[in-house]
Each structure stands twice: as C-alpha cells, then as structure tokens.
Chains A and B, each alone.
Chain A
C-alpha cells in the first residue's frame, strides 16, 4: 500500500505567538517551525502500517514556502520513504488542495491521510477539499486504520465509543490521533534524511489554478493579559467560603 500524507509546516506549539507591527499577521522571524501536530499523528499512523507491513510506502508532500523543506526532512527522519515540496509563498486553501490533487494524480497513492486541521489557522479545509477534487471517499477525524479485504477500515472516536467505517481504495481520511504518540526519530534516520533528495517545484509548474475564494484578515490581537488572582485568607473557613461565594456571584458573576 502506498500512503501519502500532505503536511503543513506551522509555528511550533512552544512558540509564544506575537502579532506583527501591521496588526494583521504574526511575527515569524526567528521562531521554531514544525510539522502541524495532527499531521504528525497522520505520519505516525502511516508508519505504524509500515511497521506492520514492510511493503508499505509512506510519502509526504507539502505546499508552502521553501522553509517547509525542514518539515519534510523531519518526516523522512521519522521513517517516511519519500518527500516532495511544492513551493508556494502565498496561496489559497483551495489552491493548496488543487496542487495536492495534482500530486495525488501523479503519484497514485492508495490512501491519503491528512491531519484533521493545521494548528496555525485551524480551518480543517484542505483534507475534505482534496477528497472532493479527487472524487474520493472521505472519512473525517479517524484514530485508526486497518487494512481489510477490499479496502480499509477507518475507526473514529465518538461520544462513548467508536464507529468503524469501511472504504474502498483509494480513499482519504483526516486524522485525529494515532494509537501511539508520534515517534522520535532514530539518529540513523535523521542522518539518512539529511542525505535524501527532496524534489522541489513551484506551484506554477503544476499547471493548476492557485486562486480561489479567499479571506482577508482585518486585525489580530493577543488575548488580554490575565489579571492577578485573589487570595482569601481573612477569617475562618466558613467566613472564607462566604467571601468566595460573594466574589463568585458579584465579581465573577458565575453564580
């Protein structure tokens, strides 16, 4: 089976995001970038298939700026077999989906696994859009993939249990979580990944329409700084409880 994971490079979750001077974008200078967490789960899920069946081929692709190459390297270090980069400095989500559809047509994977959403803009758009463009079945927010006769079983967690869907291949699923935490790359993996060739082409070379319905950010604001807490310490426990109830009712207005 060949599995393709389209991934996105996003500011790492440890980065304290700052709004830039234009008030409409975040400061990206000097920050740490990494693979979007749900994409990491998708990679781990695919690699778990590869662990179970060594004939599985796992490929990754990204549509993004040149720095995204580092994210592909990381995916290769984790154990993915192939990676390719489509450079695009600014494009619309639909444009990304169209570019990916082109890559899918060329590389012919049996299964495409996308993270359910990217952690930077949380749109959750590209996965379903790609399935739509390809005309493939799509199952959202899966937690497990099991190959079965005639296709794959796709497991999703729902309130109080799980659903099991079955899809004929090729199919696309978006990933909520993998069974294990995304693996830490081995050092030989990191070294091999450094030497691996990552073919690159510009989105223009794919001959796809990179435009699409788009939106404009009007302004960005960091959340207001949290005020200091309040410690109630005068009086015995009964009096403190009364003060707390009063504060919750009158100040916090939650009672």
Chain B
C-alpha cells in the first residue's frame, strides 16, 4: 500500500507523533488493566502447552466456538470480521511503516495480498451490516446493546470504507507504485467512480482519515468490551485444560484461614482476565436454564459484576491492598440468591465463544458462603449434615445402603475380592426406589454379559459431588478420601458408575487426591459390550424414545454418542432427538450443583420446562430415556406434575436394555 506522507521528513514525523499518542493511550490503559489483573491470586495455567497452542489455532484463529448452533450466521459474520481484521492489520502495519519510515512489509505489495484485503474489506462491511441490522431490528432478548457496540461497529465501518476509497482513488490518481496489481473492488469499481484530479484529493483525505481512525481505535479499544480482540488471545491460551467437570482443589484445607471468593482479590488472575474478555454477547445467558425459568441468576452478569468491580476499585486496591472499596468492604456484588440458582450444567461454559469459566467463579463464591459464613440454604445444610452423618444426602440409614441388592445376591468386595469392576452404585440408586430399579437393571445387564463385579454396600459413601458443588470443599475431601481409602483396601482399579455425578467426580476429581481409576459410565460399558458381541439385545415393543442428555455425561464429559449408540442398538427402538435442546445444547433437568436438595420457589421449575421441551418435539416418543438418576427423578416429577404420564414415561437407557436381554 502507499502513503501520501512519503517518508519521515515529508509528513512521516507527524504520523509518528499521532501513532505514538494512539498506541501510547492503548498501552497506558493496558498496563493498568494488567496491574488490576495481578490483584487476583496466583494460579498455574501452563500445563498441557500443546493443547493450549491447538486451542489458539482452533478457538481463536479458527473461531470454532462462534460457529455453533444456533449461531451459524452471526458466528460467520463475526468470523469474517475477525479474519478480515487479521489480514487488514498486516496492511495497517505496512501502511504505518510506509507512512512513517517509507518502507514496506515484505509481501504486502503482492497481488494476492491486495486481493485478499480487498475482498475481506467488502466481507467485513457486509458483516457489519448484519451486526447493525441485528442490533437495530432483530435484537436478541439477552443482548445488552450499548453505545460501545455502535462505536466499534462504526469505527470498523469507517476503516473499511476509507480503505477501499483511498485505494480506489489512489489507483485513479496514478499514485500506485510500479508493479502494484489493482485489486478488483477498489480498482475496478471505485477506481471507475473517482476520476480526474479530484481523486488525488480524495485519496489524501481518505488515507488520513483511515490512519487516524486506526489510531483512535487503538486508543479506544482498552476502554471498550471490544478489547476482547486482544484478551481472547491469552484467555484461550490460559483456559482450563483439566477436565471441565473438575472443580479446583483447595490444598492443605485444614491449615487455611479463608476459603472461596468474597472479594475480587480472592479470584485468580485468570478469573479476572475472563472479565476483560467478556464481549457481552449474551450467549451464556441465552443458554442458562436458571435464567430461562425466571431465576435471579444471569451467568453473564456474574462475569461482568467481577469485571465492573475490578475496574471501579482496581486503582484503590493497587494503591492500598487493604483499602475499603465497597460496603461491606469484602463482598463481591453477585448476590447469594443468584449463586444458589446455578445447577452447574455448563451450558454457559459451553456457549461462551471466548472460553470464560463461569461455574468456577460461582462455586468459589459458594465456597465463601458455605465454608466461611455457613450460610448455604437450609435444605442444602440438611443435605450436607446428612452426608456427614449418614454418607448420603437424603439421610437414609448408612447400614441399609446395600439393601437393594440383597435379593439379587450381588456380591460385595468383602465377598468377592477378586472382582474386576467396582460398581459404585451412588446414593440415588441405593436409596431412591425409582432408581433402585435402574441399579437392578444394570446388575441384570452385567450378569448377562458375564462382567465380574462387586459393590461396596454400606462401605460405600457419597462421592461428595453435591457437597463440593454446594461449596463445601471440606466435606467433599472427607467423603472422597473415605472412598479412596476403601477402594485401596480392596485394590479397586476399575469403576463402573451408573450416575454421571459419581462418574464425573471419581474420574475427574479423585485424581486430585491421588485416587486414579479407570472409570466408566454404565452406558459406555454397555455400548462396548454390545459392540464386542457380549451383550445380545432382542426385539421388544417398537417404540420411539427421546434421549435426554445428562449435563455431567454430555457437556461435562463429552459422552454424547455412546448412550445414543446403545439406544440405536436396541431393535425396535427408534431414537428421537429433543431438538434443538440436545447434545451440547441439552437442557438441564434442574438437579445439578446440589440443586437436587434445594427448594426451587422462584420462577418455573427447570424440570417442568424440560418436560415441555420434550413434549414440544411432537415426535411420537412415548418414553424419554436418560442415563442419570437425578435426571430420572426430576423428569418423573415433571411428568407427574404436568399430568402427562400417559404420553411420556421417563426411563433410564439401562432399563430398556435390561428388558430385552437375550443372553
């Protein structure tokens, strides 16, 4: 590209001063933001470096998380603006280098580059038009539209228009350097409009307007949510690479004095970086089951509360780490009722295009409420007391944990120490009558396939998941350690769980305490047994069955296909998808995050909404199958409350298999 300044002494110095001001403003503000971010506590985020590089390529450069249902068009518009930005930035660097010092970035004089920029400039303009039309005429309900968004879109539009105009005018005026290949739009279209002497003047002003806009953009960027074009780069790089379903461990818990997050200083630097990265797109809010059913929780607000408080109080805190900044000084702005509404279903985490981690913040704040203040909701406190005293959240007698299996003669590890698998039954299947049927079905299936297994009966205790997600890390550690000790006593190496919560915490969280096992969810195992020919499923009644994705199987652990494969392997069963709320967009049953034991008084019950969604697909499905005891309880309740038992019956996939066994 060319510049009208033509070297340092011919206007380049003026440009240099302007560039210094624009980028100076950028770095000045960026340095402050970095300082605020360092107020957060330390957290190591450099494990799995190659996965981090891969994510940069896929998520940042590849825009993978933007191109998701139901956001394909908006996502593509964004991706085009972003890719355009990348290409055009190279041109901008060339522009400034040429304007100030009179030299070119290598390769920018090529026809390929000129054409690429030209085409992207038009695509970006088209995308800006889509974005503006959406904001003005088809605003999604969750989108928080502010002046900032229009300013940014306006600046980008000015950049693209001036770029095309100065190129076209420059071409007409014959200001191009030798060997410069005219790009199609700027050259053929605009070049034809700008004719004669005036084109040199147009070139001059368009060029300067373009460059000044670039510098104004740089200065404005760190004041804006648009800073995400910069912060997404580190935010993706430093995203959590441990399993999504694993919450962080509080190490050496007995010797710590404070727990969880009460002030912005209690969040890690990465959690604060999340705040800088949020672009207020509202996709998290869009997918949140709590918000959708009228609860006071909005995952986006959780992230923005932290960011806003940091921006407001950051300078005071930097000056004096003990400064009283708000009243009461140490409190975060998210209210307990918001935090307790979360089911930890990860719909927000899944939806976020810039890898913000909402659940960890919510749980950290819950940790403060539970561990420091003892102020968890009373029903949650009851559940925790029950786990402490009886080893299960319902407070059923510990000694009766294995009673469901007595009639079946299921061996315990004490009876059968050489069993290959431990079937970790979990509290729901041990004590809840409906779910005991599922446990019995699994026993039938395992026996048919000749799998060697045993249970722990009264030696098993709650895996700790509800306690951990309520924020009671201490109780989780006690429960987990107790199970790990029992597993050790019997030399357990392989674990089958029919409950995704047991599965998730044993597979992903027990390793934090040194418990490493090969953990498999019952439906994964059944899928394998069918594939290997060890399990023969015969034809039963022909029926359509909708599959409901449990959050802790699907979104938290990526197990979407195996349960479906099991359904598909049952002759006569026609699998139905609960579109569009299936797979990674599956809608929570409402029971995760300890919500199973909390009352749900505000808004519509999440499970009732789910039942409505299942009925709305009008697929003729007479059953809805899941792979989670909590989902089953919630769906049964929802179906009962809505009086639609005749239309649709909740089951576990295992029950469908067990009812049709041929071997």
Contacts and interface: CB of A to CB of B under 8 A. Distances in A.
Given A186-B373, A188-B372, A180 B390 contact: no
Contact of A13 (B253, B381, B384, B395): B395
Given A14-B396, A186-B372, A181 B382 contact: yes
A14 B376 CA distance: 21
A243 B346 CA distance: 52
Contacts of B223: none
Interface in A198-221: none
A184 B389 contact: no
Contacts of A183: 374, 381
A137 interface: no
A32 B398 contact: yes
Interface string B464-497: 0000000000100000000000000000000000
Contact of A187 (B253, B376, B382, B398): B253
B371 A32 contact: no
Interface in B356-408: 370-374, 376, 378, 381-382, 384-386, 389-390, 395-400
A12 B386 CA distance: 10
Contact of B399 (A13, A16, A180, A185): A16
A13 B395 CA distance: 8
Given A13-B395, A14-B395, A16-B399, A189 B378 contact: no
B197 interface: no
B552 interface: no
- Which of B257, B372, B389 has the most A CB atoms < 10 Å from its CB? B389
Given A184-B381, A187-B474, A189-B374, 5 more contacts: A12-B389, A12-B390, A16-B397, A34-B389, A184-B385
A32 B399 contact: no
Of all A-B residue pairs in the complex, the 3 with the closest CB atoms, nearest first, are A14-B390, A16-B397, A184-B381
A33 to B, nearest CB: 9
Interface string A169-183: 000000000001101
A190 interface: yes
14 contacts: A14-B390, A14-B396, A16-B400, A32-B389, A32-B398, A181-B378, A181-B381, A183-B374, A184-B376, A186-B371, A186-B374, A187-B372, A189-B374, A190-B474
B378 to A, nearest CB: 5
A191 B373 CA distance: 14
A19 to B, nearest CB: 14
B532 interface: no
B254 interface: yes
- Which of A34, A185, A186 has the most B CB atoms < 10 Å from its CB? A186
Main secondary structure of the interface of A (DSSP, over half): loop
A184 B372 contact: no
A54 interface: no
B373 A32 contact: no
Contact of B397 (A14, A181, A187, A188): A14
- Which of B253, B258, B381, B400 has the most A CB atoms < 10 Å from its CB? B381
A187 B373 CA distance: 9
B390 A188 contact: no
Contacts of A180: 378
B259 interface: yes
A200 to B, nearest CB: 24
A14 B378 contact: no
Interface in B34-90: none
A14 B386 contact: yes
B251 to A, nearest CB: 14
- Which of A187, A189, A190 has the most B CB atoms < 10 Å from its CB? A187
Interface string B251-293: 0011001110000000000000000000000000000000000
Contacts of B257: 188
Contacts of A191: 254
A15 interface: yes
A12 B374 CA distance: 21
Contacts of B376: 184
B538 to A, nearest CB: 28
- Which of A12, A14, A180, A184 has the most B CB atoms < 10 Å from its CB? A184
Given A32-B389, A190-B474, A14 B398 contact: yes
A183 B259 CA distance: 18
Interface string A145-184: 0000000000000000000000000000000000011011
Given A14-B390, A14-B395, A187 B381 contact: no
Interface in B299-347: none
A187 B395 CA distance: 21
Contacts of A188: 257-258, 371-372
A15 B389 CA distance: 9
Given A16-B399, A32-B398, A181-B381, A187 B259 contact: yes
Contacts of A181: 378, 381-382
Given A14-B390, A34-B389, A185 B254 contact: no
B320 to A, nearest CB: 25
A32 B398 CA distance: 9
B377 to A, nearest CB: 10
Contacts of B258: 188
A250 to B, nearest CB: 29
Contacts of A12: 389-390
A14 B389 contact: yes
Given A32-B398, A180-B378, A187 B371 contact: yes
Contacts of A186: 371-374
A184 B374 contact: yes
B534 to A, nearest CB: 36
Contacts of A187: 253, 259, 371-372, 474
A185 B396 CA distance: 22
A180 to B, nearest CB: 7
Interface string A33-64: 01000000000000000000000000000000
Contacts of B382: 181
A191 B376 CA distance: 19
B396 A184 contact: no
Contacts of B254: 191
A16 B398 CA distance: 8
A188 to B, nearest CB: 6
A190 B253 CA distance: 12
B163 to A, nearest CB: 59
Interface string A218-245: 0000000000000000000000000000
A138 B659 CA distance: 64
A32 B257 CA distance: 28
Contacts of A184: 370, 374, 376, 381, 384-385
Contacts of B385: 184
Nearest to A180: B378
Nearest to B370: A184
Nearest to A15: B397
A132 B385 CA distance: 35
A222 to B, nearest CB: 13
A191 B374 CA distance: 13
B70 to A, nearest CB: 42
Contacts of B384: 184
Contacts of B390: 12, 14-15, 32
Contacts of B378: 180-181
A148 to B, nearest CB: 28
A190 to B, nearest CB: 7
A16 to B, nearest CB: 4
A55 B304 CA distance: 40
B258 to A, nearest CB: 8
A109 to B, nearest CB: 25
Contacts of A185: 374
A73 to B, nearest CB: 13
Nearest to A194: B254
Interface in A1-29: 12-16
Nearest to A184: B381
